[in-house]
């Protein structure tokens, strides 16, 4: 569900989280580390904690500190969502909206609106994040379908009716 995915990205109330379970957390953490010139050698290594991390208390503490900072950064964000009344699939309306919103907002090819000077993503070690000005890299290389704007408008109208 949306709320489950948001919890995964946000982390726990205590500030912990799992960057190996959320690519968004991974990207944000890598940008924080790059901006602050901090090295956490185990950050992003493997899809589960490597065996060396399990026995290295210093590395565990470094990762935990970064996870805390990621949770603080993501927790300060505002989330805007639209309710799309269909089941998730690659051919669903929600996938169409997500794909095309990313394609439209991406500054990968022709920058229309640059990210603010304070946007953390400017410090990302990933060139594609810095160039697209987006954390989500799926579909940044695609052109958007103009029908998407009508679909998004309908989803916004549906959402406003559901939340009244």
Chain mean pLDDT for the chain: 88
Q: Which whole number is the average pLDDT over 2-12?
A: 74
Rounded to 5°, angle at Cα 92 from 82 and 156: 20
**Phi, psi at 90, each rounded to 5°:** -65, -20
* CB 63, CB 42: distance < 8 Å: yes
On whether residue 84 sits in a domain, the answer given is no
On whether residue 81 sits in a domain, the answer given is no
Confidence of residue 18 (pLDDT cuts 50, 70, 90): confident
On whether residue 85 sits in a domain, the answer given is no
% of the chain residues with pLDDT over 70:
98
pLDDT score recorded for residue 150 = 95
Q: Look at residues 145, 146, 126, 148 and name the one whose alpha carbon lies nearest to residue 137.
A: 126
Return the SS3 of 161. Answer: helix
Confidence of residue 162 (pLDDT cuts 50, 70, 90): confident
Q: Examine the fold and report which residue of 75, 110, 136 is the final residue of a domain before the chain moves on.
A: 75
157 and 97, same domain (yes or no): yes
On whether residue 9 sits in a domain, the answer given is yes
pLDDT score recorded for residue 11 = 78
| Residue 43, CB-side half-sphere exposure with 13 Å CA sphere | 25
On whether residue 122 sits in a domain, the answer given is yes
DSSP state letter for 122? G
On whether residue 35 sits in a domain, the answer given is yes
- How far apart, in Å, are the Cα atoms of 19 and each of 26, 54, 58? 5, 16, 18
6 and 47, same domain (yes or no): yes
Instruction: With a cut of 90, say whether residue 29 has pLDDT above it.
Output: yes
Between residues 70 and 14, the one the model is more confident about: 70
pLDDT score recorded for residue 118 = 95
On whether residue 86 sits in a domain, the answer given is no
Domain count across the chain: 2
pLDDT per position as a tens digit, 83-131: 888 888 889 999 999 999 999 988 767 777 888 999 999 999 999 999 8
Which residue segment(s) compose the domain that 119 sits in? 93-162
45 and 8, same domain (yes or no): yes
Q: Examine the fold and report which residue of 42, 75, 108 is the final residue of a domain before the chain moves on.
A: 75
Residue-level length of the chain:
164
Q: Examine the fold and report which residue of 75, 103, 124 is the final residue of a domain before the chain moves on.
A: 75
């Amino acid at each position: 569900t949306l709320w489950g995915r948001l919890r995964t990205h946000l982390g726990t109330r205590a500030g912990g989280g799992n960057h190996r379970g959320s690519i968004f957390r991974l990207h944000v953490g890598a940008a924080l580390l790059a901006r602050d010139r901090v090295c956490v050698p185990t950050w992003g290594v493997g899809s589960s904690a490597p065996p060396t991390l399990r026995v290295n208390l210093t590395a565990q503490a470094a990762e935990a500190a970064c996870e805390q900072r990621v949770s603080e950064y993501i927790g300060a964000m505002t989330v805007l969502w639209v309710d799309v009344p269909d089941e998730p699939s690659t051919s669903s309306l929600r996938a169409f909206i997500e794909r095309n919103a990313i394609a439209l907002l991406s500054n990968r090819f022709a920058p229309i609106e640059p990210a603010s000077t304070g946007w953390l993503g400017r410090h990302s070690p990933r060139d594609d994040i810095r160039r697209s000005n987006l954390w989500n890299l799926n579909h940044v290389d695609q052109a958007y379908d103009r029908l998407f704007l009508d679909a998004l408008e309908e989803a916004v109208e549906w959402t406003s009716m559901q939340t009244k």
